[in-house]
Amino acid sequence: MPPDRSHGRASDSFSRVAVFAIVALIIFGCATAASLVPIRFKTDFSPGTHLLGQVTSVGSRHEIVGNRNLYSQLLAAGLADADITDGRIVLARINCCGGPDEDSNSRIVYVPRDLETTAGDIVEIRLGSQGGPSSRAEMHQVVRIREKARQQYASCRWVPDCSSCWNRVIYCDGLEAEGWVRKGGMDWWVLFPEDAENSTTRPSGQAPSAPRASRY
């Protein structure tokens, strides 16, 4: 499938995307004077569920720490100051392309040190949790880079093939064999925690699995 024409928007700067996000009253802002809305954890799915997303912007430590609201929320979500270095905090979209759902369903995600992402990469995201009285908070985290931006949608793509549609989702070849299914109000491809834990097709060197959780 030819590259998605929206792919170029994935190279927008982290701060520029953040300004738009705040104006749209979505999940976060960075390096702006605007008020910050909380990192979004609520979805149809339990913590530990895997989703597919496309990195749209990559933050630097200077940008993140310079926004005290975002910085404090990341610490409250389970990250340490030492975790917040250049390239460790990214914004990923789950829906494409344009319209309110692309923005409202985007996620701030932590990238472990053994992975390197750039704008346009297709990534596998493990959903975190805001925690509670008896559980610790855990940040959303990239666990696998499914396809680098330079591969030009070789094995992953936005479906359906409709450039004017707002609610397209990412599909990658072979998802069904790995245990992925389409669920939820947005019809996302998801991998439930127990399936992620039991999958025999997971690559080596990925981030540790989250604790088991029941389906939503």
Give pLDDT, residue 199.
60
What are the start-end ranges of the E strands in 7-86? Answer: 50-59
Residue 168 forms part of a structural domain: yes
- The predicted model scores a pTM of 0.75
Give pLDDT, residue 30.
34
Give pLDDT, residue 39.
66
Tens digits of pLDDT across the chain (216 residues): 333 434 434 544 454 444 333 333 233 333 222 223 346 666 678 889 999 999 999 999 999 999 988 899 899 888 999 999 999 999 999 999 888 888 888 889 999 999 999 999 999 999 998 777 767 788 999 999 999 999 888 999 999 988 888 889 999 999 999 999 998 777 899 999 888 876 644 443 344 433 333 222
**Dihedral angle computed from the Cα positions of residues 36, 185, 210 and 215, in that order, rounded to the nearest 10 degrees:** 140
Give pLDDT, residue 42.
65
Residue 22's domain comprises 5-34+47-198
| H/E stretch holding 172 | strand 169-172
Residue 57 forms part of a structural domain: yes
Classify the phi-psi angles of 52: left when phi > 0, otherwise alpha if psi is within -120 to 50, otherwise beta.
Answer: beta
Give pLDDT, residue 40.
65
Give pLDDT, residue 41.
62
Residue 39 forms part of a structural domain: no
Residue 205 forms part of a structural domain: no
Give pLDDT, residue 103.
82
Residue 214 forms part of a structural domain: no
Name the domain count of the chain: 1
Q: How far apart are the first and last CA of the chain?
A: 33
Residue 127 forms part of a structural domain: yes
What span, in angstroms and rounded, lies between the C-alpha atoms of 57 and 92? 7
Residue 207 forms part of a structural domain: no
Give pLDDT, residue 163.
81
